[in-house]
Structure 1
Amino acid sequence: MITIITTFRSFEDPLFSTIQQNAIYSWLQLTPKPEIIVFGNDHPGTNEICKEYNLIHVPDIACTENKTPLGNAVVEEGEKLSKNKIIAWISSDIIVPQKLIEVAQKIYKQLPTFFAGARRHDCKVNELIFGNYEQLKTKPGHPGAGDIFLWSNGFFQDKNMPPFAVGRTIMDSWMIYTAIKHNCCVDITDSCYCIHQTHDPNPRNKTGAWNQRDYKDYEENQRLWKESEAYKNPNVEIKYANYIFSQNVLKRKRKSSNKPKIL
């Protein structure tokens, strides 16, 4: 029913290894079991982890000169390779609940062409955890942070996504804007409690500054963003969605003066 697409960071760092394995474990507990496709091979441990957890690994993917995967390439290849009707882009530090599957299925039945996202909840995790996620102490994450999206397979085929570097900001805002423009964006925050395991703002350092290598990718993302139609509405977040899915009901949101004008 669902294909999860993602990219990994290095598993050499003990904390990132723990965080990413916690995320993978939660994905593998979903029923029906999702297809999971991992793109890229620049970070140590990716190939080994994919073999250990029996994940589909696509090592060759278009990247920046700094070997950061390009989001448009990941989306395009993910849609082509997927055997399912729904794609889920989930960051490798996100724990998802079983309800993700239920929500996706119900939205798809009512809105066959859709794009959905959820605001994350932050939690500090330092060890491997296997279930009992409801016991974790969390707090609402940044409203502009996009770490989990679902959409109808094929939605982005003709949308001309710019070649944003993955994990260097902005790409999520472009995706949300595009979905709102096509009147199919759904906010599933109330129905899908997704947990973001916090960590130092890598690839930035502890002061929040980008390192020189990754700053080039960040700058290029900013350039692409400013050249896009979406830049005219830079504050687009999932709260501006056309629909909200809450209490198992898909509802069209009332028009608000706070909603950005789609040009």
Structure 2
Amino acid sequence: MTLLTLFSSPKPFTDPHIATIQRNAIASWTHLPDVDVILLGDEEGLAEAARDLGVLHLPKVELNENGTPLISSMFALARENSESPLLGIINTDILLMNEIVGASQRIVSRFEKFVLMGQRWDLDVTQPMEFSEDWQSRLKKNIQKEGQLHRPAGSDYFIFPRACYMDIPDFAIGRAGWDNWMIFKARAEKWTTIDATPDVMIVHQNHDYRHLPTGEIHYNLPETDENMQMAGGAAVTRYTIKDTKRQLRDGKITRPRLTSGRFWRGVEQFLRKLFFFLKEEKVEKVVRPKRWAKIFKKIIGK
């Protein structure tokens, strides 16, 4: 029995660049020790890619009225078709290296219920990767030269024990809101939330959004609005990696270092509790961290 089963629902393999980076990503997962991979959906080219890469393909994932896979169905299928103690949902443009397995082993030995996540590094990748013996060291050198650390608002993977997240709403994959809910849910259930950014490097292969209906990023799509509503509104969808309570650094599980982002997020959460009696739209005007940061700067300036 393997330690971890990664699952994902890829985009169609019709666009040459999307096809290349998805094959790169999935291939990187197959090179990890103690990991199984499940690909979900019936997008064009997916069955062939799964066969070529030697991973399990489950085409019958439930869809919404727009034909977008539902995360609730993805979780159910991954759970039904795996036996590993850990599951991990991940975007199919993300390259992983062995340190993700080491981090998972370290965390599962300490906590019964948790969710592991981390910031990504953005990198331009346009060609098929070669997975020779030193591919991970070569990739890290490229990141050091050309990569850029993404802000904490983006969450591209979540690793958790299979007993967690048994009641997922019918979120649409690839739209905003559901990843914020994952962090909120873990906090609400008092599971250990762990930011692995210092010890685990994950790589996002940059791409455009021609695969979406508007050709632009998903924030303005109706499915994003629906996800936001299912998640619970702005108070929930503001949860990010900054809301984790632990951090994996140098192999040790510690409290996160206080950054300006974490400080102002703490201010925001305090104000949300203080003004719980206000309507959501008014609360948003009061608690925005940038608003209070400007006020603080003015006070200091005087």
Whether TM-score is above 0.5 comes out as yes
Q: How has the CA–CA distance of structure 1 residues 99 and 112 changed in structure 2, closer, same or farther, with 3 Å as cutoff?
A: same
- Does structure 1 residue 145 correspond to structure 2 residue 148? no
- Does structure 1 residue 121 correspond to structure 2 residue 148? no
- Does structure 1 residue 7 correspond to structure 2 residue 9? yes
- Does structure 1 residue 169 correspond to structure 2 residue 176? yes
- Does structure 1 residue 188 correspond to structure 2 residue 188? no
Task: Name the residue aligned to 2:37.
Answer: 36
Counterpart among 177, 194, 218 of residue 224 in structure 2: 218
Q: How has the CA–CA distance of structure 1 residues 210 and 4 changed in structure 2, closer, same or farther, with 3 Å as cutoff?
A: closer
Q: Offset of 1:162 from its aligned partner?
A: 1.6
Which is bigger in relative contact order (C-alpha 8 A, separation at least 6)? 1
Q: Offset of 1:254 from its aligned partner?
A: 7.9
The letter of the residue matching 2:178 is M
Q: Offset of 1:204 from its aligned partner?
A: 4.4
Q: Offset of 1:60 from its aligned partner?
A: 0.5
Q: Offset of 1:88 from its aligned partner?
A: 1.2
Q: Offset of 1:250 from its aligned partner?
A: 1.0
Counterpart among 116, 123, 140 of residue 134 in structure 1: 140
Deviations 1:214-255 (A, max 9, x none): 933223223323xx2x64243211121011111001124489
Matches within 5 A, 1:75-86: 75-86=75-86
The letter of the residue matching 2:39 is V
Cα distance in 2 for residues equivalent to 1:210 and 1:180: 26
Task: Name the residue aligned to 1:245.
Answer: 248
Q: How has the CA–CA distance of structure 1 residues 209 and 254 changed in structure 2, closer, same or farther, with 3 Å as cutoff?
A: closer
Q: How has the CA–CA distance of structure 1 residues 215 and 15 changed in structure 2, closer, same or farther, with 3 Å as cutoff?
A: same
Cα distance in 2 for residues equivalent to 1:201 and 1:209: 6
TM-align CA RMSD: 2.3
Show structure 1 runs of 5+ residues with no match.
none
Q: How has the CA–CA distance of structure 1 residues 179 and 210 changed in structure 2, closer, same or farther, with 3 Å as cutoff?
A: closer
Q: How has the CA–CA distance of structure 1 residues 77 and 12 changed in structure 2, closer, same or farther, with 3 Å as cutoff?
A: same
The letter of the residue matching 2:250 is Q
Q: Is the 8 A contact 2:119 2:154 kept in 1?
A: yes
The letter of the residue matching 2:182 is M
Matched residue SS, 1:116: strand
Task: Name the residue aligned to 1:50.
Answer: 50
Q: Is the 8 A contact 1:118 1:148 kept in 2?
A: yes
Q: Is the 8 A contact 1:79 1:154 kept in 2?
A: no
Matches within 5 A, 1:196-207: 196-204=204-212
Using structure 2 for the length normalisation, give the TM-score: 0.78
Q: How has the CA–CA distance of structure 1 residues 164 and 207 changed in structure 2, closer, same or farther, with 3 Å as cutoff?
A: closer
Deviations 1:21-45 (A, max 9, x none): 110121111112x11111110x210
The letter of the residue matching 1:192 is V
Matched residue SS, 1:110: coil
Cα distance in 1 for residues equivalent to 2:238 and 2:15: 34
Q: How has the CA–CA distance of structure 1 residues 104 and 175 changed in structure 2, closer, same or farther, with 3 Å as cutoff?
A: same
The letter of the residue matching 1:39 is L
Task: Name the residue aligned to 1:154.
Answer: 163
Q: Offset of 1:207 from its aligned partner?
A: 7.2
Q: How has the CA–CA distance of structure 1 residues 156 and 162 changed in structure 2, closer, same or farther, with 3 Å as cutoff?
A: same
The structure number with the bigger radius of gyration is 2
Matches within 5 A, 1:40-119: 40-41=41-42, 43-119=43-119
Q: Say how many residue pairs are matched.
A: 254
